[in-house]
Amino acid sequence: MRVLVGVKRVVDYAVKVRVAADKKAVDLANVKMSMNPFCEIAVEEAVRLKEAKKATEVIAVSIGPKASAETLRTALAMGADRGIHITTDLRTDQELGSLSVAKILAKVAEEESPDAIILGKQSIDGDFGCTGSMLASLMDVPQCTFAAKIDFDASTVERETDTGTEIVKFPGLPAVFTADLRLNEPRYATLPNIMKAKKKKIDAKSIEDLGVELSEGNEVLEVFEPPPREAGILVEDVDGLVDKLKNEASVI
């Protein structure tokens, strides 16, 4: 089985982001960037399949600027075999929309013929969570989203729902899976593997070279911080509390 894994370079989850001066985007200057946490989980799942001898090849693909190659190197250090870098200078946190990403991935899939495509369920910058489903739709293949457990032998996926989990059966491969938090705990790549990854192959080509026509994305009107939390207040007694809950917060 050949597995294609999508990885995205995003602002590191621990960074406290700031709004850019023009209020049109998040300020990315000198900000620490890392692989999207859900993409890490996707890569881990693919590498585990390879270690279990269920997958023969793991290909990592990333769309983004020159620095996205670093994200691909991390995937390679975790155990992916080779990387595909689709270069673009469009901002991947807001200018390149989910449908465009799905179209690009569909074209890559057309060229690579993977049996399974594993993506993160969403990226932590856009948080759209659409790409996986759109990709499956474009490719006309089954989609198993929010996967907490994937069983390739039984063709079932345990997926997260708002009330717990449910088990779905997919008709077969190829199929698209999106990784949720509980799917696995990704490994840290060891230094020797990081060194080895420098020698693994990454093929780079632009969106135009790939021959994909992008869809119009959303237009960002304004980016702003949420209003600061108001300080709490002390109430005198229970009656005061009940009064506030009833008449101010309107929750009882």
Partner 1 sequence: MPETEEEVKSIVALCQNHGVPIVPFGAGTSLEGHILSSSTGVTLSLEKMDSILSVNPEDLTCTVQPGVHRLALNESLGRDGLFFPVDPGADATIGGMCATNCSGTSAVRYGVMRTNVLALNVVTPQGELIKVGSGAFKNSAGYSLKDLYVGSEGTLGVITSATLRLQPLPSHVSAGVCAFPDLPSACEAVLSVLHHSIPCVKIEVLDSSSIIAFNQYNKSQANLPDQPHLFIELSDPTEEGLRSQESLVKDILSFSSRTTPSFSTDPASIKSLWAARHSTYYASCSLRPNSKGLVTDVCVPISQLSTLMSETVNDVEAAGVVGPCFGHAGDGNFHCILPLLPNDPQEYVEKVSAVNKRLVERAIEMGGTCTGEHGVGTGKMGYLEKQYGAGAVHVMKAIKGALDPSNIMNPGKILLGD
Cα distances (Å, whole numbers) of residue 187 to 23, 131, 231: 37, 24, 40
Which of 50, 244 has the CB closer to partner 1?
50
Does residue 193 bind partner 1 (CB under 8 A)? yes
**Dihedral angle at the C-alpha atoms of 1, 133, 153, 61, nearest 10 degrees?**
30
**Chosen residue from 10, 34, 93, 121 binding partner 1 by CB under 8 A:** 34
Q: Are 207 and 106 in contact (CB under 8 A)?
A: no
Which of 5, 77 has the CB closer to partner 1?
77
Q: Using CB under 8 A, which of the segments 97-105, 111-119, 157-165, 184-192 binds partner 1?
A: 184-192
Task: Kindly tell me the burial class for residue 227, based on how many C-beta atoms sit within 10 Å of its own C-beta (0-12, 13-18, 19 or more).
Answer: exposed
42 Cβ contact list (under 8 Å, min separation 6):
5, 6, 7, 118, 119, 120, 177, 178, 179, 183
Closest approach of Cβ 188 to partner 1, in Å? Answer: 4
* Token duo for residue 138: 């474009």
Closest approach of Cβ 127 to partner 1, in Å? Answer: 22
Closest approach of Cβ 75 to partner 1, in Å? Answer: 12
Which of 42, 189 has the CB closer to partner 1?
189
Does residue 31 bind partner 1 (CB under 8 A)? no
Which of 166, 188 has the CB closer to partner 1?
188
Closest approach of Cβ 35 to partner 1, in Å? Answer: 8
Does residue 187 bind partner 1 (CB under 8 A)? yes
Q: Are 225 and 19 in contact (CB under 8 A)?
A: yes
Among candidates 17, 39, 42, which has minimal Cα distance to 28?
17
**Chosen residue from 3, 10, 106, 189 binding partner 1 by CB under 8 A:** 189
Does residue 196 bind partner 1 (CB under 8 A)? no
3-state helix, strand, coil in the chain (%, to 5): 30, 25, 45
Does residue 133 bind partner 1 (CB under 8 A)? no
Residue type, 11: V
**Chosen residue from 31, 89, 167, 190 binding partner 1 by CB under 8 A:** 190
Distance separating alpha carbons of residues 31 and 29, to the nearest angstrom:
5
Which of 14, 249 has the CB closer to partner 1?
14
Does residue 244 bind partner 1 (CB under 8 A)? no
**Dihedral angle at the C-alpha atoms of 199, 70, 188, 1, nearest 10 degrees?**
-70
Does residue 188 bind partner 1 (CB under 8 A)? yes
* Site for partner 1, residues 42 to 101, rule: CB under 8 A: 74, 77
Residues that bind partner 1 (CB under 8 A): 14, 34, 74, 77, 185, 187-194
